[in-house]
């Protein structure tokens, strides 16, 4: 108000200066110049990381199978059976060695490849545990896995690599938590844009999946990173779409109801995949916990399994570009499509469970294209002149299955548009993606990424308030105590330093205490701090206000 009055009564030149100063102040409140600068840097660095990752996979695929990723199945079929078997096995051994060394030297927390879930976790509790060394190691391990035929995806390692770059810049320049979260979104957008030639989908993937935030202060920097990464990727790699879409027929009037029906089938396929992947992880955890199976042996087992598959059905190796393209072209008969669907699902579950790579989006694209093509082919047997071609339904299936698996219907819809370059099936695709996502979420309970987080004790479905209560720890808000503090009695109530704020508030409420001492471990009697309900609630309220501002400014 005062600034507006000052502008009205001042001279024209003074008015201009005051207006510019006032506008600059408002712009600074929305987003600082430092975030924009680092967003551009994240876009550049992530794009070159994507290029290196892509070139590395192509190089390994050529060495192992004699062809690039686009013709991987053809190359594997032309090999002697022993060589087709040996390439994935050697890849499994190499991945196991990389992960074992990474754990031994504390680069990775355990023997497994990391992906999108780790970036979401880092966003929920910055600065998280992403490091440049972990990102680089994970990128090399997953590139080796994919180059040797692992049936996983590219989005997981690339988003994690971008997140590691963003976290490194955050730590280097002392960026606060709010801006650090924005940079994580920038890294995810840049990774998706550069990898899939999909800048719009990259932005929405970052906002929808990583940040769960559509505020203006976030949208601008994320868009900048996405566009910069796309331009660099196109300058060095082919800027064509991932799949060439042949001419196809469309019925028009029946597209939406048939798209809805296909959405039901895609929802069932997505649910079956999620259920199988979760069961596979559970079986592996049980085997490891009972010490019947050493963790380094898992990628080797995955490699052996993929080696057997490479002999009999190489179409499911890697991300499966060739088989997806053939399904889009309508070149597969119905029995083969059903066999490919079952084999690809089993191969992907095997690789994920055995930690032979990471990433589920590419597998979802493959499963969706096969499901849609099978749906269209089956309809064509009964209504050959009244039904759209399998190509039409294959494109719809790509978005419906992958969107249901990763829980990102908006960004997945746009990714399908951008990687195919076809917008004719818009209405049918949207209804199919919506139905499939609702079905998978209803039957399975969450997306794949949120399932992974739930296994680590995070439930992000409660919104910002739930995230705050789960991610703020007692050690972050307690009042420290001097070393000479008297020890606790054995049965005295206490809080553990690693407990979440929500657990601490619940425990104090149940004990009807206004405050409690804090110890480092449950069996420890040494008091390292104290926490009162007032202090805990003050911290929670401040974080909730900050979260509200971040999501609406």
Tens digit of each residue's pLDDT (9 = 90 or more) over 513-550: 888 888 888 777 788 888 988 888 888 888 877 776 66
- Residue 61: CB atoms within 10 A of its CB come to 25
| Domain presence at residue 436 | yes
CA distance 73 to 92: 19
pLDDT of 59: 95
| Domain presence at residue 399 | yes
Clarify whether residues 150 and 209 are in a common domain: yes
State which residues of the chain have pLDDT below 50.
7, 23-24, 27, 127
CATH number at residue 518: 3.90.1280.20
pLDDT of 8: 53
DSSP-derived secondary structure for 26-91: HHHHH--HHHHHHHHHHHHHHHHHHHHHHHHHHHHHHHHHSS-GGGHHHHHHTS-HHHHHHHHHHH
pLDDT of 25: 54
pLDDT of 288: 82
Clarify whether residues 354 and 396 are in a common domain: yes
pLDDT of 138: 94
pLDDT of 5: 54
Could you list the beta-strand ranges (E) of 446-526.
479-480, 495-496, 515-519
Clarify whether residues 447 and 477 are in a common domain: no
pLDDT of 486: 74
Q: What pTM, to 2 d.p., does this model score?
A: 0.86
pLDDT of 11: 63
Clarify whether residues 399 and 503 are in a common domain: no
CA distance 97 to 91: 10
| Domain presence at residue 157 | yes
Task: Please give the structure tokens belonging to residue 426.
Answer: 């818009």
pLDDT of 19: 54
Clarify whether residues 467 and 418 are in a common domain: no
Task: Please give the structure tokens belonging to residue 481.
Answer: 């105590």
Q: State the burial class of residue 290 (Cβ atoms within 10 Å of its Cβ: 0-12, 13-18, 19+).
A: exposed
DSSP-derived secondary structure for 301-348: HHHHHHHHHHHH-GGGSTT-HHHHHHHHTT-S-HHHHHHHHHHHHHHH
User: Is the backbone peptide bond immediately before 199 cis, with ω within 30 degrees of 0?
Assistant: no
Tens digit of each residue's pLDDT (9 = 90 or more) over 33-52: 889 999 999 999 999 999 99
Clarify whether residues 445 and 480 are in a common domain: no
> What is the residue range of 519's domain?
460-552
Clarify whether residues 39 and 175 are in a common domain: yes
| Domain presence at residue 333 | yes
Clarify whether residues 316 and 284 are in a common domain: yes
Torsion, Cα 140 142 145 151, to 10 degrees, reads: -160
Positive or negative, the CA dihedral 56, 135, 42, 122 is: positive
Positive or negative, the CA dihedral 538, 544, 548, 549 is: positive
pLDDT of 545: 76
| Domain presence at residue 39 | yes
- Residue 234: CB atoms within 10 A of its CB come to 16
């Amino acid at each position: 108000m005062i600034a507006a009055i000052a502008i009205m009564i001042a001279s024209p030149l003074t008015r201009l200066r005051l207006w510019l100063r006032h506008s600059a102040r408002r712009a600074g409140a929305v987003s600082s110049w430092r975030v924009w600068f680092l967003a551009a840097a994240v876009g550049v660095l992530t794009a070159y990381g994507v290029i290196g990752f892509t070139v590395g996979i192509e190089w390994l695929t050529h060495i192992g199978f004699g062809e690039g990723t686009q013709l991987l199945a053809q190359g594997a079929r032309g090999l002697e059976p022993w060589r087709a078997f040996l390439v994935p096995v050697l890849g499994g051994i190499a991945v196991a060695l990389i992960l074992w060394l990474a754990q031994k030297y504390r680069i990775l927390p355990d023997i497994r490849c990391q992906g999108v879930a780790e970036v979401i976790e880092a966003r929920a509790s910055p600065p998280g545990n992403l490091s440049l060394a972990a990102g680089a190691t994970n990128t090399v391990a997953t590139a080796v896995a994919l180059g040797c035929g692992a049936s996983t995806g590219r989005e997981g390692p690339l988003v994690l690599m971008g997140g590691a770059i963003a976290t490194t810049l955050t730590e280097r320049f002392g960026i606060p938590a709010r801006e650090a979260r924005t940079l994580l979104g920038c890294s995810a957008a840049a990774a998706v844009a550069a990898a899939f030639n999909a800048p719009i989908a990259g932005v929405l993937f970052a906002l929808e999946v990583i940040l769960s935030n559509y505020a203006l202060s976030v949208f601008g920097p994320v868009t900048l990173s996405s566009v910069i990464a796309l331009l660099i990727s196109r300058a060095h790699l082919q800027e064509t779409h991932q799949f060439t879409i042949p001419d196809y027929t469309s019925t028009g009037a029946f597209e939406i109801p048939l798209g809805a029906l296909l959405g039901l089938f895609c929802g069932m396929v997505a649910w079956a995949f999620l259920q199988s992947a979760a069961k596979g992880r559970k079986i592996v955890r049980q085997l490891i916990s009972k010490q019947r199976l050493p963790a380094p042996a898992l990628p080797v087992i995955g490699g052996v399994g993929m080696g057997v598959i490479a002999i009999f059905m190489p179409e499911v190796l890697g991300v499966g570009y060739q088989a997806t393209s053939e399904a889009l072209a309508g070149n597969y008969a119905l029995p083969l499509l059903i066999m490919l669907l079952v084999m690809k699902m089993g191969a992907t579950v095997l690789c994920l469970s055995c930690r032979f790579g990471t990433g589920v989006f590419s597998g979802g694209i493959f499963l969706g294209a096969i499901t849609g093509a099978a749906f269209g082919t089956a309809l064509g047997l009964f209504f050959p002149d009244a039904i759209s071609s399998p190509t039409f339904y294959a494109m719809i299936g790509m978005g419906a299955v992958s969107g249901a698996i990763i829980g990102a219907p908006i960004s997945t819809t746009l990714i399908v548009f951008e990687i195919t370059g076809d917008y004719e099936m818009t209405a049918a695709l949207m209804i199919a993606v919506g139905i499939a996502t609702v079905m998978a979420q209803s039957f399975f309970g969450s997306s794949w990424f949120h399932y992974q987080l739930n296994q680590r004790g995070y439930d992000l479905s409660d919104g910002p308030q739930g995230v705050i209560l789960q991610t703020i720890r007692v050690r972050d808000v307690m009042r420290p105590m001097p070393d000479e503090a008297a020890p606790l009695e054995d049965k005295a109530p206490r809080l553990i330093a690693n407990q979440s704020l929500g657990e601490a508030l619940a425990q104090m409420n149940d004990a009807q205490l206004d405050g409690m001492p804090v110890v480092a471990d449950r069996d420890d009697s040494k008091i390292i701090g104290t926490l009162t309900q007032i202090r805990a609630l003050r911290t929670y309220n401040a974080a909730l206000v900050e979260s509200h501002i971040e999501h609406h400014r």
